[in-house]
């Protein structure tokens, strides 16, 4: 198909649909997320620290994905790569409000739980590590990755 495109007078927007750009502050699941924000009005932050050798060395360029399962559907809220210090931080996530944790009637609402998936091609992937976020609190998730054994497929 790529060769056909090069040898024709067809414009790229005639072959491929134009990309949908999301406006700042808009999410692809806006209605569901707004309902979730009403249930969880508090805000907490998540910091993920990735290292190897039992925490001895930070690992940069590790993909960190933070997801939420809401009404049976999985939504990816954040994905970023670690910096030279092996850290991805300042991820602000909805949480139960501090006041609701003190109220017995609202105790039926579960804590805000998120799933963290960590990937680097040279290390074992860590999938769906559950982390709970609390209002007005920074949660730190330290992770030590295990190297893959044997040769990689690409080299």
pLDDT at 99: 78
**Residue with token string 């910096």:** 83
Asked whether residue 14 is domain-assigned, the answer is no
Q: What average pLDDT is seen over the chain? A: 79
Per-residue pLDDT tens over the stretch 2-24: 344 345 565 544 444 444 444 44
Residue 36: per-residue pLDDT = 82
pTM, 2 dp = 0.73
Residue 13 falls within a domain, yes or no? Answer: no
Whole-number percent of the chain with pLDDT over 70:
72
In a domain, 152, yes or no: no
Domain span at 46: 27-144
Supply the CATH number for residue 132's domain. Answer: 2.60.40.10
**Beta carbons of 95 and 50 less than 8 angstroms apart:** no
Residue 126 lies in a domain: yes
Domain count, the chain: 1
Helix, strand, coil percentages in the chain from 3-state DSSP, rounded to 5: 20, 40, 40
Whether 114 has a pLDDT exceeding 90, the answer reads yes
For residue 15, tell me if it sits in a domain: no
Does residue 9 sit within a domain?
no
Selected residue with higher pLDDT from 54 and 3: 54
H and E: helices and strands count for the chain: 4, 8
**pLDDT: which is higher, 13 or 35:** 35
């Amino acid at each position: 198909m790529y060769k056909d495109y090069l040898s024709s007078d067809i414009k790229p927007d005639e072959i491929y649909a134009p990309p949908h750009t999301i406006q700042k502050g808009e999410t692809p699941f806006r209605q569901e997320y707004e309902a979730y924000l009403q249930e969880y009005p508090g805000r907490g932050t998540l910091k993920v620290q990735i290292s190897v050798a039992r925490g001895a060395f930070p690992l940069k360029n590790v993909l960190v994905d933070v997801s939420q399962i809401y009404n049976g559907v999985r939504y990816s809220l954040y994905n970023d790569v670690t910096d030279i210090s092996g850290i991805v931080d300042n991820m602000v996530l909805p949480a139960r409000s501090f006041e609701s944790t003190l109220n017995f009637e609202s105790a039926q609402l579960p804590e805000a739980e998120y799933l963290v998936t960590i990937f680097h091609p040279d290390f074992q992937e860590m999938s769906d590590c559950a982390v709970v976020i609390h209002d007005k609190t920074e949660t730190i998730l330290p992770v030590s990755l295990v190297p893959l054994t044997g040769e990689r497929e690409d080299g």
